[in-house]
Amino acid sequence: MFARLNEAPVPALARESVDLGDRPAGVDSLMRAAQAALPGAFLKGISLPDGGKGAVTALMKYPEDRTPGGRSRVVLDQYSTRVLSVLNTRTAPRGTRLINLKRSAHTGDIFGAVTRALYFVTCLMLAGQVLTGVFIWLKRPAPSASRSRALQ
């Protein structure tokens, strides 16, 4: 459903299209390349590929992002620091923003304890519906003889 809200598809994060050079770039140059790809975003972490092959993913966060780790990503070639793909929360399609907002409300990143309490009460109500439904089903009246004759 949310994918239909996106005018354009969210870019796939390229992971394997790296130029195998002599040796990987240093962390400082990877950090600079990630920050240049998303100006104004803070670098929250760098995910290095397993086994030395593949791309490096930089986790980025804008000041207005409501989640602690941010949701923007920059995928870099670990040898040349070339940007392979960018997922930017500021320019994300509406469907992606709606999904991000839902997660932020669920964890209380929006309105703090109020939304956490709202989600907690909603979950209790759903569990209560399951329990009361089972009790209603177990306590249903047995068909009486006069009622079963009337149905025939």
Q: What pTM was computed for the model?
A: 0.60
Q: Would you kindly state where each structural domain of the chain is located, as residue ranges?
A: 2-107, 110-140
Q: What does each C-alpha distance from 121 to 101, 104, 117, 133, 141 come to in angstroms? A: 19, 17, 6, 18, 32
pLDDT in tens, 118-134: 888 988 999 999 999 99
According to CATH, the topology of domain 2-107 is: Nuclear Transport Factor 2; Chain: A, (3.10.450)
On average, the pLDDT of the chain sits at: 80
Per-residue model confidence (pLDDT) at position 10: 47
- Summarize the confidence of residues 73-81 as an average pLDDT: 91
